[in-house]
């Protein structure tokens, strides 16, 4: 899953794709490099980020979604039902909600209405205040329990069971140590019974471990992605598809070799 952020302030590639033409060009390149899905987002969710209005967000993402949906499968990275509805109408097939339906109770209904798929991310609080909520006795058990409740809400809103994916939400109300524990015990999310999405790409915990600035975190990201794949991740959200596809392919082959008698 390749990332196109149509935002002026996203932490990893902020500003690079803020205009429609360069965002579409970036998405086209991600498909050419082998992305199975391109994720288009119009609001930065980095810690402390200010929200933008639904109309501003939709104006950023809808033309990009419409153009990229001609080339391959597109997900819309939003927690707002209104933006999700417009993006699905423009051709997106998946709604990627980092809040798992907690920030907009109407989101799951929109997903159900369109027969779309949904990525249910784990978050506490809002992107603005989430780091104050990064307190857990057992982060993995609590994330699994909270995701289970959000899955139940999605099913109750009419989302089909086969259209749900779950994501532990690395960096979303998590410290670096929480992220590492979630990756090390990712297999426990398998108990939920849904495909697992992991977004480690260029995040601060990778920077903390490697001492690298955002743009130089691809090798560290490859380490995180390899671990995620070996612990059961099914979808990796990445900025550099070309680099990460190879790392993922090797880790995946190793994981499969352990399963063949
Ligand atoms: N991380 C970011 C944005 N969207 N979506 C999912 N499903 N999982 C994530 O971990 C995730 C996400 C933040 O990263 P960015 O600012 O580089 O896009």
- In tens, the pLDDT along 93-126 reads 999 999 999 999 999 999 999 999 999 999 999 9
For residue 8, pLDDT over 80 is answered with no
Is 158 within the bounds of a domain? no
What pLDDT is attached to residue 261?
A: 62
Is 6 within the bounds of a domain? yes
Choice from 6, 92, 199, 213 to test ligand 1 binding pocket (greatest atom count within 8 A of CB): 199
Residue 133, number of CB atoms within 10 A of its CB? 14
- C-alpha 160 to ligand 1 mean position (Å): 23
Q: Which residue's C-alpha comes closest to atom 3 of ligand 1?
A: 45
Q: How confident is the model at residue 5 (pLDDT cuts 50, 70, 90)?
A: very high
Is 198 within the bounds of a domain? no
Is 98 within the bounds of a domain? no
Q: If we measure between CA atoms, which residue out of 116, 111, 118, 112 comes closest to residue 147?
A: 118
- Is any ligand 1 atom within 6 A of the Cβ of residue 98? yes
Q: What is the mean pLDDT of residues 142-158?
A: 98
Is 252 within the bounds of a domain? no
Is 171 within the bounds of a domain? no
- Residues 135, 250: Cα–Cα separation, whole Å: 35
Give the total number of structural domains in the chain: 1
Residue 212, number of CB atoms within 10 A of its CB? 16
Map tokens 């050419």 to a residue.
Answer: 32
Beta strands 235-236; 117-121: pairing state: unpaired
- Is any ligand 1 atom within 6 A of the Cβ of residue 42? no
| E strand or H helix at 224 | helix 218-230
Q: Which residue's C-alpha comes closest to atom 10 of ligand 1?
A: 199
26 is catalytic: no
| DSSP-based three-state secondary structure for 164 | strand
Give per-residue pLDDT as tens, 30-80: 999 999 999 999 998 877 777 899 999 999 999 999 999 999 999 999 999
What pLDDT is attached to residue 260?
A: 63
The percent of residues above 70 in pLDDT, for the chain, comes to: 96
- Is any ligand 1 atom within 6 A of the Cβ of residue 104? no
Alpha helices in 69-106 (DSSP H): 81-89
- C-alpha 138 to ligand 1 mean position (Å): 23
What range defines the domain where residue 40 resides? 1-92
Choosing from 66, 124, 163, 237, the catalytic residue is 237
Is 155 within the bounds of a domain? no
Is 75 within the bounds of a domain? yes
- Is any ligand 1 atom within 6 A of the Cβ of residue 197? yes
Instruction: Give every strand in the sheet of 73-77, ordered side by side.
Output: 2-5, 37-41, 73-77, 94-97, 117-121, 164-167
- C-alpha 165 to ligand 1 mean position (Å): 14
- Is any ligand 1 atom within 6 A of the Cβ of residue 11? yes
29 is catalytic: no
- Is any ligand 1 atom within 6 A of the Cβ of residue 77? yes
């Amino acid at each position: 899953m390749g990332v196109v952020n149509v935002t002026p302030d996203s932490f990893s590639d902020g500003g690079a794709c803020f205009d429609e033409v360069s965002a579409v060009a970036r998405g086209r390149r991600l498909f050419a490099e082998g992305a199975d899905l391109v994720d288009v987002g119009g609001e930065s969710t980095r810690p402390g980020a200010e929200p933008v209005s639904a109309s501003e967000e939709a104006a950023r993402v809808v033309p990009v979604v419409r153009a990229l949906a001609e080339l391959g499968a597109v997900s819309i990275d939003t927690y707002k039902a209104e933006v999700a509805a417009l993006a699905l109408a423009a051709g997106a097939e998946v709604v990627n909600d980092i809040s798992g339906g907690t920030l907009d109770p109407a989101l799951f209904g929109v997903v159900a209405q369109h027969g779309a798929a949904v990525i249910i991310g784990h978050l506490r609080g809002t992107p603005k205040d989430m780091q104050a909520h990064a307190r857990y006795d057992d982060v993995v058990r609590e994330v699994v329990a909270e995701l289970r409740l959000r899955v139940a809400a999605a099913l109750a809103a009419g989302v089909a069971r086969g259209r749900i994916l779950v994501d532990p939400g690395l960096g979303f109300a998590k410290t670096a140590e929480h992220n590492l524990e979630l990756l090390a015990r990712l297999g426990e999310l398998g108990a939920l019974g849904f495909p697992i999405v992991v977004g480690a790409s260029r995040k601060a915990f990778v920077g903390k471990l490697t001492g690298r600035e955002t743009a130089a975190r691809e090798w560290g990201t490859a380490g995180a992605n390899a671990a995620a794949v070996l612990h059961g991740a099914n979808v990796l959200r990445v900025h550099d598809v070309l680099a990460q596809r190879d790392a993922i392919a090797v880790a995946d082959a190793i994981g499969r070799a352990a399963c063949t008698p």
